[in-house]
Every structure is written in C-alpha cells, then in structure tokens.
C-alpha cells in the first residue's frame, strides 16, 4: 500500500453501540461519515447529532451511494433485511457477531459450517465483503486506538499498537480495510480469505483476547491460519 490516504468517506449501517463507536472513530481518523438505520433519516437524526456529532443521518440507500466503504453494524439476525442491490459492488466490512442473547439460536447461522461472513456474503452477493472490526469491544475502539504510533513498530523494541485481523477474498477491499484500520489507530493483520474470518468470530481465542501484530499472527497460526503478508 502507498502512504497517501485513499479513503475519504464511509457509511455505517446501524446506529447501535458498535455502529456509533465506528462512526466516531472514523471521524476522529479524518473521515466523513454517513449513518443510517432501519428507521428513517429523520428518526435517527437526533441520535446522530448527540452520539455521533458530525455524522450525517440518511436513508441507507443514500448513505452508501457515494462512499468508499460501508461498515455493516446491524444485529446479525437482521442482516437479511439489508437490501443487497444498494451494496452491489461496494466494499462492505461485516462487523457483526452472533450474540445468542440478542439474536437467538439463528439456526441458519449456527447450523451452517461456513463463517458468518460467508453467509452474509451469500445474501449480499454483489458486495465485496470483509470480516473485520468484530473482535474488539465497541468502547475499546476509542480507548485502544493509537494514532500516535507508527505502523510496524511491533517486534522492534518499540511501543506497538493493538492488532486487528481482517479477512476477505477481494484484494481492493483488503487494501481499503488495511488503510481504515491503520487510520483508526490499530495494526492491520491480513488473515487471508473470507473463510478465515471464522478464526476471530465470537467465542474464539482471538475474539476473547487482544494482541499486537506478532501475537495476532501467532494466534491466527494457532487457529490454523497460515502466516500471510499484509495486503
């Protein structure tokens, strides 16, 4: 990747705790942000004004229309309510997790051997899906972000940043996500194909812990994901 920022604007679908934390972190990273939810733009405008000041509340279709990247942060049990047509060709980060207490058993997810992001990708067939931002607490996004530390400090005796893994089958989506995580203040670690995202779904060792980049690569290797060069 080059050093010049490419991303200028993102959309966040979902204005719950995760979605609003992503929106705030993105704005702190210098990005313009559109936010949307299942409710109308007018209904979430007050939420945006109070919780994500600076973000622009829109309908979902308008929010994603002219952005570089979309973060999907709706409850997993609602992902089939997202219209696939509006995300056709878009880079979409799947930040969702299966929370039993919220989502219920979701037999079409738990009974499927694929990763949850592969299942989401089947629904959003034209989108370029990335699994990322799911294995960090919403409050940690702002607490653990270190935009004052340069990327690649780990293993060189320097203070390092918390690593976040991402998985995708799309090279351009990988590059965009790498930039996003870096600008958020985290060390991006490419985990390979979208199917590899199962290694950091809820309940896994990676999900339940935090690592620098060296530790993340070791944890991915322990999960059966071979070491990869970052996109």
Distance CA 225, CA 50 (A): 41
| pLDDT at site 41 | 84
What band does 154 get if pLDDT is binned at 50, 70 and 90? low
What band does 39 get if pLDDT is binned at 50, 70 and 90? confident
| pLDDT at site 196 | 96
* Strand order from edge to edge, sheet including 56-57: 56-57, 32-36, 9-13, 69-72, 91-94, 128-131, 163-168, 187-190
Query: Residue 141, exposed/middle/buried by CB under 10 A (0-12, 13-18, 19+)?
Result: buried
Contact (Cβ atoms closer than 8 angstroms) between residue 22 and residue 12:
yes
| pLDDT at site 159 | 74
What band does 47 get if pLDDT is binned at 50, 70 and 90? confident
pLDDT (tens digit per residue) in 91-147: 999 999 988 777 778 888 888 899 999 999 999 999 999 999 999 999 999 999 999
Q: What is the mean pLDDT of residues 169-188?
A: 97
Contact (Cβ atoms closer than 8 angstroms) between residue 82 and residue 38:
no
Reduced to 3 states (helix: H, G, I; strand: E, B; else coil), residue 54 is coil
| pLDDT at site 85 | 97
| pLDDT at site 138 | 95
Using the predicted structure, report yes or no on whether residue 219 has a pLDDT greater than 70: yes
Of 23-32, 138-147, 156-165, 172-181, where does mean pLDDT reach its minimum?
156-165
Using the predicted structure, report yes or no on whether residue 183 has a pLDDT greater than 60: yes
What band does 18 get if pLDDT is binned at 50, 70 and 90? very high
Distance CA 49, CA 175 (A): 31
pLDDT (tens digit per residue) in 56-67: 999 999 999 999
| pLDDT at site 153 | 64
């Amino acid at each position: 990747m080059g050093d010049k920022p490419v991303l200028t604007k993102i959309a966040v679908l979902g204005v719950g705790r995760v979605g609003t934390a992503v929106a705030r972190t993105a704005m702190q990273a210098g990005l313009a942000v559109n936010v949307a939810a299942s409710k109308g733009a007018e209904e979430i405008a007050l939420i945006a004004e109070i919780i994500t000041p600076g973000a622009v509340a829109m309908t979902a279709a308008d929010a994603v229309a002219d952005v570089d990247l979309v973060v999907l942060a709706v409850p997993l049990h609602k992902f089939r309510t997202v219209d696939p047509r509006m995300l056709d060709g878009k880079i979409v980060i799947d930040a969702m997790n299966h929370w039993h207490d919220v989502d219920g058993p979701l037999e079409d997810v738990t009974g499927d051997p694929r990763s949850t992001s592969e299942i989401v990708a089947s629904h959003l067939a034209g989108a370029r899906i990335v699994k990322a931002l799911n294995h960090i607490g919403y409050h940690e996004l702002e607490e653990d972000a270190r935009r004052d530390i340069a990327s690649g400090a780990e293993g060189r005796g320097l203070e390092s940043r918390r690593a976040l893994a991402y998985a995708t089958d799309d090279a351009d989506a990988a590059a965009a996500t790498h930039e996003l995580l870096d600008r958020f203040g985290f060390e991006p670690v490419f985990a390979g194909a979208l199917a590899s995202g199962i290694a950091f779904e809820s309940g896994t060792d990676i999900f339940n812990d935090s690592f620098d980049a060296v530790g993340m690569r070791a944890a991915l290797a322990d999960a059966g994901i071979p070491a990869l060069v970052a996109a």
